[in-house]
Amino acid sequence: MAEGTRAKPGLEDVVAGESAITLVAGETGGLAYRGFDIAELARSAPYEGVVHLLLYGESPEPEALRATREALGARRELPLALRRAADALPAELPPLDALRSLLSAMSGRAFAYPPTPDQGLELVAKAPALLARTVRRRRGEPPVASDRALGHVANYLYLLTGHRPAERQVRALETYFILLADHGMNASTFALRVVLSTNADLLSGAVAAIAALKGPLHGGAPSKVSDMLDAVGTAGEAQAWVDAALARRERLMGFGHRAYKTEDPRARLLKGVAATTADPARFALAEEVERVALLALARARPGQRLYTNVEFWGAVVLEAAGLERELFTPTFALARTAGWSAHALEQAADNRLIRPDVAYTGPEVGRRWKGGEATGA
């Protein structure tokens, strides 16, 4: 790149590719997968239908939906080598790191490049079983075998607890899975597409994606939202807590978004889910923290247009589903395996190596070496 050319920090507003998967309308707060508004999907579709939509590009007819459900159900069982890999990990490894490691362990001929929809189904189906096995081991509990009669999300809860979950709990978590299934060129998806662009396989891309999801500026925020609600304590203390945090120049977890300059539509939908599933006192506390935070952010960061993002109400929904905080980001990853797979397919279908330029800002060339002597070989 020519010297003096300025880079765009964070690639903000840089259009880094074309995609027919998900429309993120940041100014108006719109979100749609393959032309289906996210509210319509949250209301009407099962997660397996959204997986089908993302992988194959079309909403499934009943027969195709049955086939996708069966394909996912049939792929849940973990082969012996993967069970052994899961059981060999250090028990103290945090669940997200365990999931990332186990996706590496799953690599093999079945996942050779180029990615296929079948590979996507395999990833979506096995990831919950891998995660649940390590989580139960961490808790000192024996593994639970998948139940073919249960849907994808219900089975995930069953694998974690060993109990058949209540229908309301399942639909709440299923809505979360649908809303988190894809989101355009976010950091983890971009990381996956960079990896796929080198003609590396889907699992290598998914491992990179999970690594990118770990940080609190992307997928690592929801448990910190729960921590924040605990720290606030009661609705009456929300104002003072938020003001003090902003005075310390801290970021309020669950607010602000690179793409949305208005409310994240997923936040609104998840708030609706939380209203009917969360403990009423917890919901009331979260609602007051949100109200106070939005006013305080508008005052403290005028012009930044900081609104509630998916992680805020996502955290309350995950709490209501009975998940431990250390499972929040891994659960986000499970939901996103569908979108990551769709992006891998799209990247491979019309690939060009992603290799941007960088503006050099180092010393002028032509310096004299004054360090140690070359040793020769």
Catalytic residues: 257, 311
Contact 35/26 with Cβ under 8 angstroms? no
- CA 85 – CA 257 distance, rounded (Å): 37
Q: Which stretch binds ligand ACO (CB under 6 A): 27-35, 251-259, 274-282, 355-363?
A: 251-259
Binding of residue 256 to ligand ACO (CB under 6 A): yes
Figure out which of the listed residues 73, 95, 254, 330 binds ligand ACO, where binding follows CB under 6 A: 254
Q: How far is the CB of 270 from ligand ACO (least distance, A)?
A: 12
Figure out which of the listed residues 137, 164, 214, 258 binds ligand ACO, where binding follows CB under 6 A: 258
Figure out which of the listed residues 94, 184, 216, 322 binds ligand ACO, where binding follows CB under 6 A: 216
- CA 309 – CA 327 distance, rounded (Å): 19
Q: Rounded to whole angstroms, what are the CA distances from 377 to 369, 374?
A: 19, 9
Nearer to ligand ACO, 248 or 368 (CB): 248
In the region spanning residues 6 to 25, those forming contacts with ligand ACO, defined by CB under 6 A, are: 10
Tell me how crowded residue 154 is: count the other CB atoms within 10 A of its CB: 21
Q: What angle do CA 161, 166, 169 make, to 5 degrees?
A: 85
State the residue number with the nearest CB to ligand ACO: 256
- CA 153 – CA 127 distance, rounded (Å): 12
Q: How far is the CB of 123 from ligand ACO (least distance, A)?
A: 20
Contact 283/316 with Cβ under 8 angstroms? yes
Question: Phi then psi for 22, rounded to 5 degrees?
Answer: -130, 130
Contact 120/132 with Cβ under 8 angstroms? no
Nearer to ligand ACO, 116 or 309 (CB): 309
Q: How far is the CB of 340 from ligand ACO (least distance, A)?
A: 14
- CA 347 – CA 329 distance, rounded (Å): 25
Q: How far is the CB of 251 from ligand ACO (least distance, A)?
A: 4
In the region spanning residues 132 to 171, those forming contacts with ligand ACO, defined by CB under 6 A, are: none
Choose among 286, 333, 365: nearest CA to 123.
333
Binding of residue 5 to ligand ACO (CB under 6 A): no
Binding of residue 252 to ligand ACO (CB under 6 A): yes
**Tokens describing residue 270:** 């998840």
Q: How far is the CB of 306 from ligand ACO (least distance, A)?
A: 5
Nearer to ligand ACO, 13 or 350 (CB): 13
Figure out which of the listed residues 152, 257, 336, 343 binds ligand ACO, where binding follows CB under 6 A: 257
Q: Which stretch binds ligand ACO (CB under 6 A): 24-32, 101-109, 255-263, 335-343?
A: 255-263
Please enumerate in sequence order all residues whose Cβ is within 8 A of that of 164, keeping only pairs 6 or more positions apart, or say none.
147, 150, 154, 158
Binding of residue 311 to ligand ACO (CB under 6 A): yes
Q: How far is the CB of 259 from ligand ACO (least distance, A)?
A: 8
Contact pattern for ligand ACO over residues 281 through 310, marking x by CB under 6 A: --------------------x--x-x--xx
Q: How many residues bind ligand ACO (CB under 6 A)?
A: 20
Q: How far is the CB of 318 from ligand ACO (least distance, A)?
A: 13
Q: Rounded to whole angstroms, what are the CA distances from 367 to 2, 3, 159, 374?
A: 20, 18, 61, 16
Q: Rounded to whole angstroms, what are the CA distances from 3 to 11, 13, 354, 368, 376?
A: 18, 22, 21, 21, 34
Binding site for ligand ACO (CB under 6 A): 10, 216-219, 221, 251-258, 301, 304, 306, 309-311
